[in-house]
Structure 1
Amino acid sequence: MRPCSPFSAAFAPSPPALFTVGYNLSNKKEMVGSNLKEETMSLMKRRELIEEEMNAIISRLTAPGAPGISGNLLDSEGFPRADIDIMAIRSDRHRLAELRNDHRNLTSEIEKSLQVLHSARSSSSLAVPSEKSDAMEEDPVSRVPFAVVDEIASDSPAAEDGIQLGDQILKFGNVEGGGQSLLPRLATEAQSNQGNPVPLIIIRQGAVINLIVTPRPWHGRGLLGCHFRIL
């Protein structure tokens, strides 16, 4: 056997440094996180367009003299109302139901993506760039909403105070996600603060926004005139 030269041993190729592998893995994680963030923002944009169409339909259905989202289309004698376009109203209601279903599915996808991103950030300190706007906001990846506004009357206290259809609730007064009986807790929070300003933190179009709402009586149902659906 030919003896190995000490010079050839000294200059033999060495295995790649471990830090290089770690660096590549880190880059891959950042790329995955960045791609998922972009996909999530794209879903949020699609949901925003759906919310705009839903708001337009709700405005038509709740206009003065209109029957509302679920009001009766018959008069007191059981005949179709002559003062409204029944075909157009039925079409709007059908389309609204479709949009609500699409909105619910998109919200579910967005929530799953946010949870994955949040988990990745917590476990590996994955840095996901945040989007900034003129509103008071922070990266929504760091917080997970517990409810979404799926119904709102156009002239309600909620609408007047800036709440919009599709807003996702992070905190309403002292009520945050987690625990049981969230809907009763939300109702109690509104009732106990009737006539008083209540801080509300929401996610809208990917931005975390701070609002102030005042639960108060009006001509419609409840103190806010909107409905929260628990996620």
Structure 2
Amino acid sequence: MKMTGESSSGNSEITMDDVKLLIKKKDEIEEQIQAYYDVLQDQGVGVEGPLVDVEGYPRADVNVHQIRTARHNISCLQNDHKAIMVEIEEALHKLHAREKAKREQDESEVQEESMELQVSLPPPFARVDAVTEGSPASGAGLRLGDEVIEFGSVNTENFQNLQNIASVVQHSEGKPLRVTVIRVGQKVQMSLTPQRWSGRGLLGCNIVPVQR
């Protein structure tokens, strides 16, 4: 059976439509086999029943030619059925193997993209180890575990200690600061405005340095 689609190397590629066509052909063969079995049943003989009488003459009570034709066709169709079952099995195997290879390739590409992203991001200089609910930090979207790579004018290049961040916060009360963090391998930016609230400080979060 000719399969649809051609690969870049010229080899045919199995598709699900090919498998469906093979299954349809298999069903048709099974229907034909059953039809010939019905013929034998109508004649009152099976696949192996004798077609001659005790004296060796062709039986007069049955249509010998019709029975022989039915038996021959059943034998041929059964061979066709075995062959197409092998084709279906091979087609499904190739289809599943190709899907598995594509899935593995997609996963590999995702991992490569993730690694490239991690390489392109600057190393964090601080980490958020506490965020109080209802605080300015919480409202801005800062989360526990966020790794800071930018806090206003403080970044990986110029960070020396936490006093750098404290100084920026004190001089930016009521003014939005751009904060950039790494969260689950992804770069996330937010706007954080230091301001008075019901809790302590102007942020409502705790930031600790990252050892580099």
> TM over 0.5: same fold?
no
- For Structure 1 versus Structure 2, the TM-score category normalised by the shorter chain is 0.3 to 0.5
Q: TM-score normalized by structure 1? A: 0.40
Q: TM-score normalized by structure 2? A: 0.44
Q: Whose Rg is larger?
A: 2
